[in-house]
Amino acid sequence: MAKRRVVVALGGNAILSKDASAQAQQEALRQTAKYLVQFVKQGDELVVSHGNGPQVGNLLLQQAAGSTETNPAMPIDTAVSMTQGSIGYWLQNALREELVNAGLTQSVATVVTQVEVSETDHAFEDPSKPIGPFYTREVAEQQHVEHPDYRYVEDAGRGYRRVVPSPKPVNVVEADVVENLVDNGIIPVSVGGGGVPVVRVGNRLEGREAVIDKDFASEKLAEQINADTLIILTAVDHVFVNFNKPDQKSLTKVTVPELKQYIEEGQFAKGSMLPKVQAAIDFVEHTDHGQTVITSLENIGEFLASGEGTIISKVAENATK
């Protein structure tokens, strides 16, 4: 297989499940690194991005609990940058360890990444991005009493989570830095948590209280660095239609028009699979040669060996299975 430039987007929930301790998250990333290094072994240029929904939500809760007049909690944009640093620190060390174990010499570097959004994005008036832990309805109602400014919604049947504004990315500010690192054989960890949301005010970049969806930010980065493949990792090996129904069907090779039709049918959950599918479509539509793959971390070996996963392209090629 020819060398490709690959952006792999990890979900925040792949790093943190039930145990929020630093030790548990570092151990999860060591396991993740074993899968990611497979791309490097076959000669691909690897760029890693990651979510931070659970981590930034937990950090905001910790800050709110300990906030005082003389030691106030930091705003969301700063909390995003803090989790970029902490997760990047864990991930670059995990990758470095696995690279050395495999006899590889590449370096890994985390880029604290700013992502430009529009000041007039309607998302600022309609918070929709879930962050932090899942709650029962009763606990979410109590959290709302304690934090009246917080908004909680039911998230894909899994419980209630806090939601914050999630504007669409228009530019990855440090994309040129990421591209320079890749060109020099270095593996970048970038757009962590979707990047720090900023707006351009004259020559200044100002942070905003929001969390950008990491799949849309990863797509924008993949565009800007001329990636060949965007791989969005999730909990399942394939995207499904009629999910959890008797006529459930996995999608293997699928075209953009087919996916748009499935979106119109309401096939994908708004808080989970829908943004991944929309980001996949964006990358394919905005590049001449690119393809998007949606699959699980555990399926990476099968994807590399036989192309197993949901592969999105512009034109039909045995469209669906």
User: In one letter, which amino acid is 158?
Assistant: R
| Annotated catalytic residue, options 192, 214, 220, 309 | 214
Beta-strand pair 129-135/204-207: unpaired
E-strand spans in the chain? 5-10, 45-50, 108-110, 114-117, 129-135, 151-154, 160-164, 169-172, 187-189, 196-201, 204-207, 229-234, 239-241, 249-251, 253-255, 291-296, 310-313
Catalytic residue list contains 13: yes
Pick the catalytic residue from 12, 88, 132, 192: 12
The catalytic position among 57, 192, 193, 276 is 276
Indicate if 270 belongs to the active site.
Answer: no
Catalytic residue among 57, 58, 88, 129: 129
Nearest to 35 by CA among 111, 112, 106, 91: 91
Q: Is 180 a catalytic residue?
A: no
* 201/210 Cα distance (integer angstroms): 17
Of the candidates 199, 192, 168, the one whose C-alpha atom is nearest the C-alpha of residue 85 is: 192
Q: Which residues of 72-85 are buried (b: 16+ CB within 10 A; e: fewer)?
A: ebeebbebbbbbbe
Residue 202: other Cβ atoms inside 10 A: 6
Q: Are 194 and 51 in contact (CB under 8 A)?
A: yes
* DSSP code of residue 316: -
* Strand, helix or coil for residue 195: coil
- Catalytically active residues are 12-13, 129, 214, 276
